[in-house]
Amino acid sequence: MASPSLPISISEVNSLSDEKFESVFGNVIELCADAAVVVKKKRPFQDLTALCDAFQTYLEEIEVEDKLMILKLHPDLAGRLAAQGELTPESAGEQKAAGLDQLTTEQKRVMDESNQRYKAKFGFPFIICARENKVQSIIDGLQRRYNNSQEQEITIGINEVKKICKLRILDIVKH
């Protein structure tokens, strides 16, 4: 099958070769191609909801160590990778949608300091669905969530990954 033009239908999703499925869905969870390897085995999907649910279930059922690994794969918001143009295309678009590419000097300083403090405490970057937020709500969330426990932040972080994943799937599959 030739490379499909996006968005594709659920029937096209179901007919993708294993390799193509992994290629198309390999970054719906940031840099976690393993998710696509697992989820492809659940085909055929009845509809878009079933496809999204399969990725959500993957995130729910993996061990805490794997959840931590997934959280660690995410880039800092408005961080070094963004400054160097090294984000995945998906992350770059999401950060741009939130306005993180247009930070004032003061906002950049606050983001950098807050990101470093958060990562030092929790061992992974602050994760929030950037497409559902703007700069100030992200900064507020970074500062507010710093007071949470490690367990709370793993849960919240994975729930934010679920939102990001669903939006990325909606970019790929017709709805």
pLDDT digits (tens, 9 = 90+) for 114-154: 999 999 999 999 999 999 999 999 999 999 999 999 999 99
- 3-state DSSP assignment of residue 173: strand
Find out if CATH 1.10.3330.10 is the number for domain 75-160: yes
pLDDT digits (tens, 9 = 90+) for 146-169: 999 999 999 999 999 999 999 999
Which of these is catalytic: 74, 145, 162, 166?
Answer: 74
pLDDT digits (tens, 9 = 90+) for 38-55: 999 999 999 999 999 999
pLDDT of residue 1: 43
CB 67 within 8 A of CB 75: no
Q: Where are the domains of the chain?
A: 75-160
Name the region of 85 (left: φ>0; alpha: ψ -120 to 50; beta: rest): left
Q: Is 74 a catalytic residue?
A: yes
pTM: 0.95
Share of the chain above pLDDT 70, in %: 98
Over residues 4-33, the mean pLDDT reads 95
Q: Of 165, 164, 77, which Cα lies nearest the Cα of 118?
A: 77
Residue 2: is its pLDDT beyond 50? no
